[in-house]
Amino acid sequence: MKLTIHHLYADMMNLYGDRGNVISIKKRCEWRGIPVEVVDVGLGERVHPTGCDIFLFGGGQDREQALLADDLSGSKGADLRAIAEDGGVVLGVCGGYQLMGHSYETPEGERLPGVGIFDLYTEPRKPEEARLIGNVLIQTTLGGRARELVGFENHGGRTYLGETEPLGEVVVGYGNNGKDGTEGARRNNAYGTYLHGSLLPKNPWFTDHLILSALRHLDETFELEPLDDEAEETAFRSVAGRISGRRQG
């Protein structure tokens, strides 16, 4: 049983260290002796699911997003939509997240078509509006447990959800649009978020949630052995405490 990490547009969509998400998944598999492979999926290349996969789509500037929108508009986008609908594990961050919705409109008024995994759309900030930048703390419930995620956001786009559920509720920060208190999106095992950082090294529980979801796509009885996350959890508490002003126990 080998887990394949499909890194979408690795060289173009890697803002604020999103590549760390690939490294975090890879290391947490290797530390458990789980065979893992990273496959870069660039422009013009199709995705080839193996049955045990995680698809990662990082953040990027408007220029890169415009280049990708065309690449996603044909069979590649249809493949990703089918993978998500079949319960495949997908994580989109910021610019990648925006292109997992119906459309992303740039500040210049260009409406880029998205893949349509999530029922959402993204509008540009108004000239008088600032970019949404800063540390973020959200609350979410995954696998029946209430959890928190920390990260860093820097986006001009304002995302509005339709029927799609949010990934979580904003505790500190802006989230999808700085107005409705939602952050990110989720549908089956597909997740979108504005949290860079990169996200997964700062939130090891979420990394393991994605790994377990991918492995259980092959064997629904699979269990992950726990790792010693003392250092990671200390770092999380420190960041979450600093962001929220909470005392650190």
Catalytic residues, by residue number, are: 94, 196
- Compare residues 151 and 213 and give the one whose CB is closer to ligand GLN: 151
- Compare residues 24 and 65 and give the one whose CB is closer to ligand GLN: 65
**What is the C-alpha radius of gyration for the chain, rounded to an integer number of angstroms?**
17
What is the arrangement of strands in the sheet containing 132-142, beginning at the earlier edge strand? 145-155, 132-142, 168-172, 182-183
Binding site for ligand GLN (CB under 6 A): 15, 59-62, 65, 94-95, 98, 154-157
Q: For residues 207 and 201, what is the distance between their CA atoms, to the nearest angstrom?
A: 8
Minimum CB separation of residue 135 from ligand GLN in Å reads 14
- Compare residues 4 and 152 and give the one whose CB is closer to ligand GLN: 152
Minimum CB separation of residue 32 from ligand GLN in Å reads 31
- Compare residues 88 and 151 and give the one whose CB is closer to ligand GLN: 151
Residue nearest to ligand GLN (CB): 59
Instruction: Provide the H-helix boundaries in 86-203.
Output: 95-98, 199-202
Instruction: Decide: residue 73, CB within 10 A, 0-12 exposed, 13-18 middle, 19+ buried.
Output: middle
Minimum CB separation of residue 23 from ligand GLN in Å reads 19
The DSSP 8-state label assigned to residue 196 in this structure reads: B
Minimum CB separation of residue 181 from ligand GLN in Å reads 19
- Angle at CA of residue 87, ends 8 and 232, nearest 5°: 65
Q: For residues 93 and 118, what is the distance between their CA atoms, to the nearest angstrom?
A: 13
